[in-house]
Structure 1
Amino acid sequence: MDDTLYPLSTGLNLACRKNIEGYMLKHLLMEESEVPKLCVDLYREYGTTMAGLKAFGYEFDNDEFHAYVHGRLPYEKLKPDPVLRSLLLSMPQRKIVCNSFILVCAVESIAPNSKTWKWSSQVFTNADQAHAHQVLNRLGLNDCFDGIICFETLNPPNYTNVPTDTHLLTWSKSFNKDCNQVESGCFNSKTQILCKPSVEAIEAAIQIANVDPRKTLFFDDSARNIASGKAAGLNTVIVGRSDLVPGADYALNSIHNIKEALPKIWEVEGELQQMIQSPAVETMVLA
């Protein structure tokens, strides 16, 4: 979602990092001279600085952390994007919001011999639900996705009376935590917080969204997320650059170029041709 649905130039990414550093100084009482480097190092090693802090034994409330880091972001810099809205609404696939990426998938009709396809798109993000809704509302995209996979989805609170959201996908108790073996170079979870780019987090998102990774397009601006997505069996699209990175099947300078680069997304009613090595694209995820 972040830096995929909107450009890095908005400055939200930098503001978020500054807020994380502020939290480390004010609430965790760290040395000011050590915070900037530690913030980046933990992000690189654990996927998010928050996950790294938890792995190092720092105890703090997750909601308090998110409120401090995201509650101060300059969301006013995000403006409605009618062009992207039109593109998303015209897609026949399911769309899932996943912070930095979009997952788009097509689910075959219940009729066994039908050539008609049903589609879904969802958002998948390491951030909390409140941040995801803020971003989507500001961009005018809040009704463009079938679901949101966020921090609370992968890391459910330790209490049962949790408010539900019709668009927030929930953790499946039947999820099999035994992940497939992947190449040693791929990022793997080392911490109690489950987040991208760990292959475990992406496999969990696939299970929660109930999609076939072979028929799913995974959009992300992060090269390491793309590598993990490919290891999890997804068809991958790197956003924000024109060159392919390891594990990427497609590259987009901007999410707005999606129709020119992937026109087959719009081919339906039995005319959808093979895009990569799968019979049809069923799902689309934007991270």
Structure 2
Amino acid sequence: MVEKLGIESSKTDEMTNLLYSNYGTTIAGLRAIGYDFDYEEYYRHCCFFLFPHHFQMANDFVHGKLPYENLKPDPVLRNLLLSLPHKKLIFTNSDKVHTIKTLERLGLEDCFEGITCFETLNPINNGTVCDDQENIEAATSRATNPTPKIGLKISEIFDIIQHFAQPDPTTVLPTTPIICKPSEHAIELALKIANLNPQTTLFFEDSVRNIQAGKRVGLHTVLVGKSYRVKGADYAMESIHNLREAVPELWETDIKAHVIACPGTQKLAVETSVMA
């Protein structure tokens, strides 16, 4: 933000918090308020990195080198995932390279059938995308994704700090051209690309905001990292390692709709999918 976009260093913390809280990710917020930059370069230099029990933001300019050595293999989670008799997919706001590196460090690279990542919903300019291009183009053909602004002048940047410091009811936040969680459109698009029915899909998240968005589009939801349920969460578990105890029905060959909080559906067997 400082070295590439020219933002004052004294404003970055407050701006990052406002962008994340209003747009779901900093990159989506930066594009919304008018900054233009290369997506690939952004993800090389500023990224979220995953630890076994929480997410942490990389605040330093890391030049594409994240401390992946802090991630250790998780054989307990690996055994859980491999024993789960359902299709398992990853849906992440991060980029594909980071996602794969993280999975490899955790020893989970062969536990999922697919990845829907940042490039899937926001194809990079050079044509590099995560999944099959034809599927993406078909799924996004009716997407309302604004064309990114190019060559904006500094005077055209929306001052989000000023907007919240002195609220003006006549001013609304600009929309972002980036598709990502917690946008309901992003979740619906990810489901369409993966050919999943939300009524037979269990959605795992550590973000309450993402859980609630998932519930609004018809997913069945599991909040990870909390021992109590919140609005929008069908299940809650302190750790993903508690999955078998929290949702034992996932290992049953005949899953009853009422047991897994799927009112109005018929009995489910192999149709159930798991998206994390």
Q: TM-score, normalised by structure 2?
A: 0.76
Match of residue 35 from structure 1: 12
* Cα distance change on mapping 1:209 and 1:126 into 2, 3 Å: same
**Does 1:272 find its partner at 2:255?**
yes
Deviation at 1:195, TM superposition (A): 0.4
Aligned pairs (5 A) from 1:238-253: 238-253=223-238
CA distance in structure 2 between the aligned counterparts of 1:64 and 1:81, rounded to whole angstroms: 30
Deviates more, 1:131-140 or 1:189-198: 189-198
**Does 1:285 find its partner at 2:250?**
no
Instruction: Look up the equivalent residue of 2:105 and give its one-letter code.
Output: R
Contact 2:33-2:174 at 8 Å conserved across structures: no
Deviation at 1:164, TM superposition (A): 6.3
Match of residue 88 from structure 1: 81
Match of residue 173 from structure 1: 138
**Does 1:73 find its partner at 2:66?**
yes
**Does 1:59 find its partner at 2:25?**
no
Aligned pairs (5 A) from 1:29-178: 29-70=6-47, 71-95=64-88, 122-160=89-127, 162=128, 170-175=135-140, 176-177=142-143
CA distance in structure 2 between the aligned counterparts of 1:264 and 1:189, rounded to whole angstroms: 43
CA distance in structure 2 between the aligned counterparts of 1:257 and 1:191, rounded to whole angstroms: 36
* Cα distance change on mapping 1:39 and 1:152 into 2, 3 Å: same
Match of residue 102 from structure 1: none
CA distance in structure 2 between the aligned counterparts of 1:69 and 1:123, rounded to whole angstroms: 21
CA distance in structure 1 between the aligned counterparts of 2:134 and 2:241, rounded to whole angstroms: 26
Deviation at 1:156, TM superposition (A): 1.2
* Cα distance change on mapping 1:159 and 1:75 into 2, 3 Å: closer
Task: List per-residue Cα deviations over 1:85-128 (Å, max 9, x = no partner).
Answer: 00000001000xxxxxxxxxxxxxxxxxxxxxxxxxx0000010
Contact 2:182-2:213 at 8 Å conserved across structures: yes
Contact 1:172-1:208 at 8 Å conserved across structures: no
Deviation at 1:256, TM superposition (A): 0.3
* Cα distance change on mapping 1:165 and 1:213 into 2, 3 Å: closer
CA distance in structure 1 between the aligned counterparts of 2:108 and 2:222, rounded to whole angstroms: 20
Task: List per-residue Cα deviations over 1:10-63 (Å, max 9, x = no partner).
Answer: xxxxxxxxxxxxxx1111121111111101110111111111111111111100
Match of residue 110 from structure 1: none
Match of residue 5 from structure 1: none
CA distance in structure 2 between the aligned counterparts of 1:33 and 1:234, rounded to whole angstroms: 40
Contact 1:189-1:200 at 8 Å conserved across structures: no
Task: List per-residue Cα deviations over 1:197-219 (Å, max 9, x = no partner).
Answer: 01010011111110110000000
CA distance in structure 2 between the aligned counterparts of 1:250 and 1:238, rounded to whole angstroms: 6
Residue segments in structure 1 that go unaligned for 5+ positions in a row: 1-23, 96-121, 179-187
Higher relative contact order (CA 8 A, sep 6+): 1
Match of residue 228 from structure 1: 213
Alpha-carbon RMSD: 2.1
Q: TM-score, normalised by structure 1?
A: 0.73
* Cα distance change on mapping 1:189 and 1:81 into 2, 3 Å: farther
Deviation at 1:163, TM superposition (A): 6.5
Instruction: Look up the equivalent residue of 1:213 and give its one-letter code.
Output: P
Q: Which structure has the larger Rg?
A: 2
Contact 2:116-2:130 at 8 Å conserved across structures: no
2:186 alignment partner, SS class: helix
Query: How many aligned positions are there?
Result: 224
Contact 2:68-2:105 at 8 Å conserved across structures: yes
Overall identity of the aligned pairs, in %: 49
**Does 1:206 find its partner at 2:206?**
no
Contact 1:153-1:169 at 8 Å conserved across structures: no
